[in-house]
Amino acid sequence: MAQRVVVTLTDDIEGGEAAETVRFGLDGKWYEIDLNETNAAELRKALAPYMEAGRKKSGGEKPRKAFQHTAVDPDPAAVRAWAQSNKMEVPARGRIPKRIYDAFHEAN
């Protein structure tokens, strides 16, 4: 059986259906707001004088990545078993803390 998931954006100012998600930043913080076409145009119009007078920062803000294990990392089941055999607290399921991986690498 096939399923179809439909995501509908709702305008964060007026309610109703939104046309797009607008992302903007101020004071080092980034915001996203779902807006219909009219509200998106009004926001851009309101910010335009400040954007024109300001300096564009090259590169923009890059989202920080969560800790990622590399291809050389051992099998999580092996790390979990090693941690349990060494009397370390490790969750039975889910993400294994970085400190456990670090201890495993140090011991092996």
Count CA within 13 A, CB hemisphere, residue 71.
0
Average pLDDT, the chain: 85
Q: Which pLDDT tens digit goes with each residue over 43-88?
A: 999 999 999 999 887 765 565 555 555 556 678 888 889 999 999 9
Residue 88 makes CB contacts below 8 A (sequence gap 6+) with 100, 103
Is the pLDDT confidence value at 5 over 80? no
In the chain the domains, ranked by start, together with CATH numbers, are 1-62 (3.30.60.230), 76-107 (4.10.320.10)
Determine what percent of the chain is predicted with pLDDT higher than 70: 86
Contact in structure between 74 and 104 (CB atoms under 8 Å): yes
What pLDDT, on a 0 to 100 scale, did the predictor assign at position 96?
A: 87
What pLDDT, on a 0 to 100 scale, did the predictor assign at position 4?
A: 80
